[in-house]
Amino acid sequence: MNRDFAVPRGAQRLFDLVQPNEPRYRCVFFYALRNTLVTSNLDVATSIAYQGNRALHRVVTLDGQLIDTSGTMSGGGKSVRRGGMSAVAIPAAGGVTQQEVSALEEVVQKLEEELASLRSETRGLEQEQRDLRAKLTKLRKLLPKLEMTIEGAEANVIDLEKRKSDLRASGHCELSEEDMAKISGLEDEMEGLNGKIKVVAEHLKKLEAETDKLQKKIMDAGGEPVKKQRKKRDACSKVAEAASLAVDEAMMNVKQAEMNAKKAAAAAEKASKELEKIAKATEGKKEKLKELEDKALDVQNVYDAASKVAKEKHGIVTSLVKEQEALKSTLEKIMSVEVDINNQLEEYNAVLKENKVKAEHWMKEVEKLQKDHTSDIKEWGLLSLADNDDSDEEDEQSNDNDMDQSPGNEKVSSHPSSETVLPRFDPDQLKRYDREEIKHEIMLLEEERESMAAKVNMSAVDEWRKKDADYQSRFKDLDGVTNQRDEAREAYEELRRKRLEEFMAGFGEITMKLKEMYQMITLGGDAELELVDSLDPFSEGIVFSVRPPKKSWKNISNLSGGEKTLSSLALIFALHHYKPNPLYVMDEIDAALDFKNVSIVANYIKERTKNAQFVIISLRNNMFELADRLVGIYKTNNTTKSVTINPRQFSLESNAQLPQPTRPLSDCTNVSGDMLASRQ
């Protein structure tokens, strides 16, 4: 109120325009007006009130149009009410006599006495009303108990009447005099209780009527002035309550602001600490970054050196490869030359062999001719040994040169006898058989082959042939293995495709049956099986999502015990529908289920799973009572024992073996109670 307030240009604060008669009322006007501004028209009010998209000031125009800080605009219209803030003259004190004052004081005193008596009477009536209300509360609490007692007694009477009629009809029991006396006593007691209830009900009605009368008296006590005072009191109470709420709200706002300030300070301190930590961490990261950069530089240098070495080695390898190719081409040329030489040698050997055959043939012819003409030579005496010494030597030399090698390595003598000499043949006849030239050519070829063998590794050809044979063998093995691999790969892909198709078909059927089973068990829920990776179902697995009745979707791991049990059973039944199993063993599957769900599961197993056998361990009677066979486990004398029961046969035998003799009603009632306890 007394703080400086910056009034915008073109407006005035409404509180500053109000001039109360007494300064103490200023706070009241400020409480009502606050910092409301007054402008001449709506355009000025709009420009002052709104700053951007929100209203900063509460502004009112001279026409009564109001713009609130919440952004709402109100007021205006055809008729404008004026003069609401005009000053009204207060009548001056004085003009009252002493007698009037005394009379007024007496009236006030009488009214105060009447008010005191009315207050005391009101307190008495209120106390009596409280007592009556307490009695009424007790009676109301007692009434349901009595009604329940009556209902129980009536039910017992009906039950006993029914038993009595049944027993009389069957002729098993007859009522004794003692039983008749008990029945009459119970009937008398019931009639007495009914009478008490009627008395209590009448008394309760009277008390309620008296309570209403007292309430009316309390409201009418004191007359119209008291009612007005009560109304004023109620109005003041409401104002005080509203003021108290406003004060409490203001205190809460202050506390909230203090808490927000503390939180902001704590957040600022935390942020500063985190900033320091981040700065320290940044320095550490910078140092690590520098170290990493140094290491990276070293690694780069090593990489460059290795690259250079690799390039050098690559050049060496390239040159070696080229040299290898050159040597390989040289080897191929040498091999081709060797092949040519071998071919020539084979041709020469063939010619030589042919010449040897011819030489043998002509030697035989010469010998034959010598034998044929020896006698003629002796007779004619054309030649003598003495005359032809020189010619003999020449003939021997020529014959030795011409006939030095024979097929049998035998030397042919040119003198068949010591006395006769063969005639000399014409050399022209032997020109076409130049043996020396042939020998010379053979010698040259052998020398060339020996010189080539010294320069070239002739064993490399054999080694190459071995390697080539090994390569061809392994290449054939590789072809076989490759074919086997392709066949195995095709078989694998075919099996994988079949597995995927069969899995997806079964998965879809199980999902639909799971949804049906869960909806049937829970009466409104939903369940879903989903693939984590739809492209490869076998990589990531399956997600089991469940939506219990009136709840949202959840993963099965986030469900309660009973919900997990129902979901698991629904999945088991869906799998059983897809591929039935002959035997199931279940251990207390109904432990976390309520009565309704246990009955649903038990009846489903009983009715819809006739193609399998279920062995269920259970402690719930609405589960094992539906079983075809019961195996009970018990312990006596520290020894575990078991007993097997066929419930259907046992029930028939029990009904057939019921005792027939007539008994009193009390004995029959006790027997029925024992049988019921044993069944439970």
Task: Write the DSSP string, 511-557.
Answer: HHHHHHHHHHHHTS-EEEEEES-SS-HHHH-EEEEEE-TTS--EEGG
Range with the poorest average pLDDT among 94-98, 475-479, 529-533: 94-98
Quick: pLDDT tens for 104-148: 778 777 777 777 777 777 777 778 777 777 777 777 777 777 777
Yes or no: say if 164 and 665 are a contact pair by the CB < 8 Å rule. Answer: yes
Q: Return the beta strands (E) in 182-296 as ranges.
A: none
pLDDT tens per residue across span 44-70 = 888 888 876 677 788 888 888 888 887
Quote the mean pLDDT of the chain: 75
519: CB partners within 8 A, 6+ apart: 525, 526
Q: Give the C-alpha separation, 514 to 506, whole Å.
A: 12
Instruction: Say which residue, 39 or 51, is predicted with more confidence.
Output: 39
Percent of the chain predicted with pLDDT > 90: 12
More confidently predicted of 122 and 659: 122
What pLDDT is recorded for position 421?
A: 52
Question: The dihedral of CA 409, 414, 418, 422: what is its sign?
Answer: positive
pLDDT digits (tens, 9 = 90+) for 137-155: 777 777 777 777 777 777 7
The predicted structure's pLDDT at residue 461: 76
What pLDDT does 196 receive?
74
pLDDT at residue 409, as a whole number: 39
From the CA atom positions of the chain, what is the Rg in Å? 68
Q: 416, 344, 425, 348: which is closest to 385 by C-alpha? A: 416
CA distances from 193 to 139, 147, 159 (A): 15, 10, 19
Closest CA to 221 of 130, 310, 296, 124: 124
Amino acid 129: pLDDT: 73
pLDDT reported for residue 545: 93
- Residue with the bigger pLDDT between 583 and 195: it is 583
pLDDT tens, 265-278? 777 677 767 777 77
Contact of 574 with 542, CB cutoff 8 Å: no
Average of per-residue pLDDT across 632-653: 86
Those residues whose C-beta lies under 8 Å from the C-beta of residue 138, and which sit 6 or more positions away, are: none
Is 174 a residue whose pLDDT tops 80? no
Q: How far is CA 644 from CA 461, 589, 638, in A?
A: 92, 21, 20
CA–CA separation, 592 vs 585, rounded Å?
A: 17
For residue 385, what pLDDT is reported? 37
Distances (CA, A) of 223 to 113, 385, 434, 604: 14, 205, 179, 75
This prediction's pTM: 0.32
Check whether 530 has a pLDDT greater than 80.
Answer: yes
Q: Above 80 in pLDDT, residue 213?
A: no
Measured CA to CA, the distance from residue 570 to residue 546 in angstroms comes to: 11
Give the type of residue at 454: A
CB 422 within 8 A of CB 370: yes
Nearest-CA neighbor of 118 among 213, 230, 211? 230
Q: At what angle do helices 561-578 and 459-522 cross, to 10 degrees?
A: 120
3-state secondary structure of 635: strand
633 forms beta bridges with: 642
Look at 390 and 121; give whichever has higher pLDDT. 121
Closest to 208 in 3D by CA, of 141, 137, 122: 137
Give me the long-range contacts of 323-330 (CB less than 8 A, separation at least 24): none
Return the closest-CA partner of residue 56 out of 64, 65, 45.
Answer: 45
pLDDT of residue 360: 85
Is the model's pLDDT at 561 over the cut of 90? Answer: no
Q: Would you say 90 and 21 are in contact if contact means Cβ atoms under 8 Å apart?
A: yes
Residue 84 has pLDDT above 60, yes or no: no
Give the list of residues 6+ apart from residue 431 with CB closer than 8 angstroms, or none: none
Residue-level pLDDT at 221 = 59
DSSP, collapsed to helix, strand or coil, labels residue 51 as: strand
User: Mind listing the pLDDT tens digit for each residue in 285-306?
Assistant: 788 878 888 887 888 888 888 8
Handedness of CA 73, 77, 83, 84 (dihedral sign): negative
Q: What is the pLDDT of residue 448?
A: 79
Would you tell me how many other CB atoms lie within 10 Å of the CB of residue 106?
Answer: 10
Q: What is the pLDDT of residues 224-239, one digit of tens each?
A: 666 666 676 666 667 6
- Across the range 186-207, mean pLDDT stands at 76
Nearest to 580 by CA among 530, 614, 618, 543: 614
The confidence score (pLDDT) of residue 389 equals 43
Comparing 99-113, 540-554, 614-628, 635-649, the range with the smallest average pLDDT is 99-113
Q: What are phi and psi of 646, to 5 degrees?
A: -95, 105
Instruction: Give 60's strand partners.
Output: 38, 66
